[in-house]
Structure 1
């Protein structure tokens, strides 16, 4: 099977391409950076990973999200429709649906994104879903939650640095539950989708089976790094006020980053597992996080 991947140089693209090749697939990258790019028709699948990631500092031009995440997706899909390629896999985001989750996020929740990033992803989804698919073609919209794995930087690495240096975690008073997605489970699900001819077009959430709190995560990091966890339960109102000050003073802790670190965001993966006939993903949430954290240590 031949697969074309946009955004192949990114974290997900590098890992997914290596995984697919290791399982006997031919993989080719497609860069969308130049205006004269063109989709080759000699392939079985196009996986569209390229996009503008969410900027937690809120310094990016809002229009740039729509130019990249929506407009490039539209152009790519239009070329797919007239090609011989059978499957189009678009990596959207759970943030195309909700910035906060009260109980559980599944595919039936009515989308209401609040950020330019989420809105641009949703507008791309809406365009794709309105198009008529020619016979024999399939469209998959993937909504992953927070993806992590060895080599991936971000909030997990930030937490590791805090715990590894023996700095107390000051946000222990925030009670939450979060879903994560290890790169291993993402790769597994994509390969299963590519090799399953019975799965129907549609929207599918990607998440690990288990949910964990940030305090649980601190405990895991401490165990892996060989340190004793130090969790301080400082008044949450005081911390929130400090974060709001960070919005104006450009401090490391601002409202957006505090939200990412402490919010509850539980994502259901029931639909994709039922579609593929899977009872359990190969890597537990805890196993995946331990693998990622060990990579920071090394």
Structure 2
């Protein structure tokens, strides 16, 4: 099996490389040099993911493309129109890669999208069949990329697999999870001891396992899958779990969520408050049933593995 992986230097990409190079029968090609070249690993280098990138040298002979590269963050002073910048990379760059992959004879294209395509808050768990409702520019760009890929799939016939993960945690994870870890590590008292929301997460090892299952599983073709650990936690429970896994106390003060929401709105931090106080659950029953898959690790095990590896 010959696989091309984009985004090999990213948080998810590095974990995928570590697992895939251990799989018998896989020859892995990367679009970034992130590991010493081994007998089953070939490194290419491409400067930018865009509508003009020529992927021909990397795509020759490949059977599967796992597209994990994306533009995920744009600082306010970086671009006057963040959505346009996201589109340039996440939509135009993705569709250019997919078109060239199909022309090169690639059988299956696995696109790592985002649960943000469904929305960023809910009262009932999202399902893969739900009407998309992206609320932020990054998620909007992922949704537009998905639509373009489906149009292409119908015209060309290359198999398409779309995976939408929620917050991904793991050793040295960036973003929101990294911030939570930093707060606990520093022993900062947090007013988050009485939050009763429900958030779905996915450990990096569980997500990697799911992606690998989708490489050649017949039932994965032309499907959208939601990823998750199969357990939902409140922000309070997550912070306590992180503290336990780190061996440090989570110093949590029980402040009512309504009061925190009001204060965050006054300070212009409404989006941050929503991620900490709101609920976002995913239903992974389709993923588990169609692929005969279940997350290998519980949340407790996944958190423990974060800090065992980080030591």
Structure-1-length-normalised TM-score: 0.89
**1:160–1:271 distance in 2 versus 1, CA, 3 Å:** same
**1:81–1:195 distance in 2 versus 1, CA, 3 Å:** closer
Compute the displacement of 1:58 (Å): 9.4
> 1:284 aligns to what?
298
Q: Distance in 2 between matches of 1:290 and 1:32?
A: 36
Q: Secondary structure at the match of 2:295?
A: coil
User: Where in structure 1 are there 5+ consecutive unaligned residues?
Assistant: 248-253
Q: Distance in 1 between matches of 2:181 and 2:219?
A: 41
Counting only pairs closer than 5 Å after superposition, residues 228-247 of structure 1 correspond to structure 2 as 228-247=249-268
> 2:41 aligns to what?
none
Matched, 1:51 2:63: no
Aligned residues: 289
Counting only pairs closer than 5 Å after superposition, residues 1-298 of structure 1 correspond to structure 2 as 1-24=1-24, 25-30=26-31, 31=46, 33=48, 35-39=52-56, 40-54=59-73, 61-131=82-152, 132=154, 134=156, 137-247=158-268, 254-278=269-293, 280-295=294-309, 298=311
Instruction: Summarize deviations over 1:201-232 as a string: whole Å, max 9, x none.
Output: 11111111111111111211222333333321
CA contact (8 A) 1:56 1:256 kept: no
CA contact (8 A) 2:246 2:304 kept: no
Name the Cα RMSD after superposition.
2.2
Compute the displacement of 1:49 (Å): 1.1
User: Where in structure 2 are there 5+ consecutive unaligned residues?
Assistant: 32-45
**1:74–1:281 distance in 2 versus 1, CA, 3 Å:** same
CA contact (8 A) 2:160 2:222 kept: yes
Q: Distance in 2 between matches of 1:133 and 1:105?
A: 29
Range that drifts further, 169-178 or 18-27: 169-178
Compute the displacement of 1:240 (Å): 2.5
CA contact (8 A) 2:161 2:220 kept: no
Range that drifts further, 181-190 or 223-232: 223-232
